[in-house]
């Protein structure tokens, strides 16, 4: 088994991982591992933009108030304030690297901001910096190019992390710490290890745990599952954000219709062409995502309809083509002209507010292990993420984690012996259909029983089925050689159990967690949900 050594191991190549790698590169050897091509990440699919108070009539405190209100009592105000306050400096860095955000003509800068700032649900002001309607792709393209040019960064594409390597697992005396990770090289099937005194988890979210999601196929909760198996604390996994408006079409794969479309005046219509959002919230279409998603879900179930409709025809073709070129073209490709007809939309899983417990500097409870981005729970999002705060968190915390690492004394060099990967009696699988079936069953169970609206009975049923599936997966994992499909199945099943257990612990409705058995918030439950198991990932 090959063992690679470096000063800093970064697992994941979204905005958080790339930010950290760029900051660390001048100070030591970085190995950046990504399970697909560099640049393919959840971040690259982000349409809306980055929320930063840049206009003169906007403030950090106003942005903070909106974040806290959306977070339904669980936002950590000190964390949120620090992340929001750091945003402008990080935007300046991106621009110095070549990222271009949309700007307004000088004559129309009524708020004294040069930027064409968007507005999204839950925001009291226009503060969304964007690059057309494919902001994430524009940022990642620039950053990936710069990362490739760094001589101190070794990029390992198509390398999927299997598990963290810890000194506790190696039975080395002293405080448990992270020594690196095992990886599967997906093209050759080779198992290798990367050894590093500092490891950063930046593996993103877990959208593929659900049957319908706006996330790309890579979002399988790998970092969350690995951290849980390593015995780390996991927080607030019941808070799963469903984006209210994904394009409803059998071939669209839940293509996201950005919240910015509603920010520019789009209205939601029911099957009869009538407005309905005012019945659910006075902010109507600009209410936070949890409210809008539940409203759409209720309309669909009440009337037995497959979707609702988003209407922005009043803005006209010229505006829509310029403001939303990617969305406009994609809708046209599927037969919808958003300038002339309302487009069909449905909710789909979008973002995890919970994850590995970490602070703004990415520190976890394990020495040598940092975590940044959607894989974490920093306290910024609370019970519901405010739109466009995700790229902000990834950008700021990726940078902050790297700075914290560099400010610490360099660890004493010691070459920890990492055992070769044990194959045992495992053989190549001739039962790929089993993996495919279990993959679909996990996702269907989560969609049907642990979705936008929950009940005790549904959660109990889901936990029982996921528990059985995890036992089957463990047996399969032991008997057959690992593949990326098997590793991802193992991870989505682990994350599914974490979501269900967290949801069962919260006997109230708050933010993104809504249960018919406890439809109101309970003041005594205004606290984080914590799961902290022994290494191994629960009882399975």
- If one counts every other C-beta atom within 10 angstroms of the C-beta of residue 150, the result is 16
**Pairing between β-strand 191-195 and β-strand 178-185 as defined by DSSP bridges:** antiparallel
347 contacts 242 by C-beta, under 8 angstroms: yes
Q: What's the Rg (C-alpha) of the chain? A: 22
SS (H, E, C) 17-40: HHHHHHHHHHHCCEEEECCCCCCC
Beta-carbon contacts of residue 214 (< 8 Å; ≥ 6 apart): 45, 207, 243, 246, 254, 255, 256, 348, 349, 350
Nearest residue to 59 (alpha-carbon basis) of 106, 3, 7, 111: 111
Instruction: Please indicate whether residue 109 is annotated as part of the active site.
Output: no
The CA-CA-CA angle for residues 252, 255, 257, to 5°, reads 135
d(CA 156, CA 83): 30
Catalytic-role residue among 90, 119, 126, 289: 289
Alpha carbons 400 and 383: distance in angstroms, whole number: 23
| CB neighbours of residue 320 within 10 Å | 22
Short-list 499, 381, 484, 377, CA closest to 68: 381
Of 201, 140, 187, 145, whose CA–CA distance to 12 is shortest? 201
Question: Helix 389-407 crosses helix 15-24 at what angle (to 10 degrees)?
Answer: 30
Contact yes or no for 354/496 (Cβ under 8 A): no
Cβ within 8 Å of residue 457, ≥6 positions away: none
- Please give the helix or strand (H or E) that residue 393 lies within, else none: helix 389-407
What's the CA gap between 376 and 56, in Å, rounded?
Answer: 32
Closest by Cα among 37, 18, 3 to 153:
18
* Residues contacting residue 145 through CB under 8 Å, at least 6 positions apart: none
Residues noted as catalytic: 289
């Amino acid at each position: 088994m090959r063992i690679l050594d470096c000063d800093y191991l970064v697992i994941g190549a979204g905005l958080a991982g790339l930010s950290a790698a760029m900051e660390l590169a001048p100070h030591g050897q970085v190995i950046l591992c990504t399970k697909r091509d560099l640049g393919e990440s959840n971040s690259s699919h982000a349409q809306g933009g980055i929320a930063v108070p840049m206009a003169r009539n906007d403030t950090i405190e106003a942005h903070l108030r909106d974040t806290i209100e959306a977070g339904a009592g669980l936002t950590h105000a000190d964390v949120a304030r620090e992340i929001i306050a750091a945003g402008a400096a990080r935007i300046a860095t991106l621009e110095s690297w070549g990222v271009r955000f949309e700007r307004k003509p000088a004559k129309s800068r009524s708020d004294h901001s040069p930027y064409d700032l968007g507005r999204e649900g839950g925001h009291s002001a226009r503060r969304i910096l964007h690059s057309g309607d494919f902001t994430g792709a524009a940022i990642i393209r620039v950053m990936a190019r710069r990362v490739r040019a760094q001589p101190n960064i070794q990029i390992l594409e198509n390398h999927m992390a299997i598990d963290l390597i810890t000194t506790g697992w190696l039975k080395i005396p002293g405080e448990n710490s992270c020594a690196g990770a095992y990886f599967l090289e997906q093209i050759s099937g080779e198992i290798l290890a990367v050894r590093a005194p500092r490891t950063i988890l930046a593996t993103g979210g877990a959208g593929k745990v659900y049957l319908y999601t706006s996330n790309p196929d890579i979002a399988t909760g790998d970092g969350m599952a690995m951290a849980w198996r390593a015995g780390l604390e996991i927080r607030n996994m019941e808070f799963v954000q469903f984006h209210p408006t994904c394009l409803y079409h059998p071939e669209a794969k839940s293509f996201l219709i950005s919240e910015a479309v509603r920010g520019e005046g789009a209205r939601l219509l029911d099957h009869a062409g009538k407005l309905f959002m005012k019945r659910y919230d006075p902010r109507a279409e600009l209410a936070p995502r949890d409210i809008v998603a539940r409203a759409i879900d209720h309309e669909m179930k009440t009337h037995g309809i497959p979707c609702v409709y988003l209407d922005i025809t009043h803005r006209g073709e010229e505006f829509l083509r310029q403001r939303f070129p990617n969305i406009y073209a994609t809708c046209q490709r599927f037969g919808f002209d958003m300038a002339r007809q309302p487009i069909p939309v449905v909710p789909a899983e979008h973002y995890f507010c919970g994850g590995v417990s970490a602070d703004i500097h990415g520190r976890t409870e394990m020495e040598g292990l940092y975590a940044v981005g959607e894989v974490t729970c920093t306290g910024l999002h609370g019970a519901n993420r405010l739109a466009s705060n995700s790229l902000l968190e990834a950008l700021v915390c990726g940078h902050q984690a790297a700075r914290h690492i560099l400010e610490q004394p360099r660890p004493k060099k010691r070459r920890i012996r990492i055992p070769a990967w044990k194959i045992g009696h495992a053989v190549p699988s001739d039962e790929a259909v089993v993996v495919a079936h279990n993959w679909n069953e996990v996702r269907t169970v989560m969609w049907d029983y642990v979705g936008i609206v929950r009940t005790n009975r549904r959660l109990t049923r889901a936990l029982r089925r996921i528990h059985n599936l995890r036992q089957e997966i463990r047996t399969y994992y032991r008997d057959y050689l690992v593949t990326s499909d098997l590793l991802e199945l193992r991870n989505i099943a682990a994350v599914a159990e974490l979501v269900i257990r967290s949801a069962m612990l919260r006997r109230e409705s708050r933010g993104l967690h809504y249960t018919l058995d406890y439809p109101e918030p309970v003041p005594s439950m205004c606290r984080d949900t914590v799961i902290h198991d022994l290494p191994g990932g629960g009882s399975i």
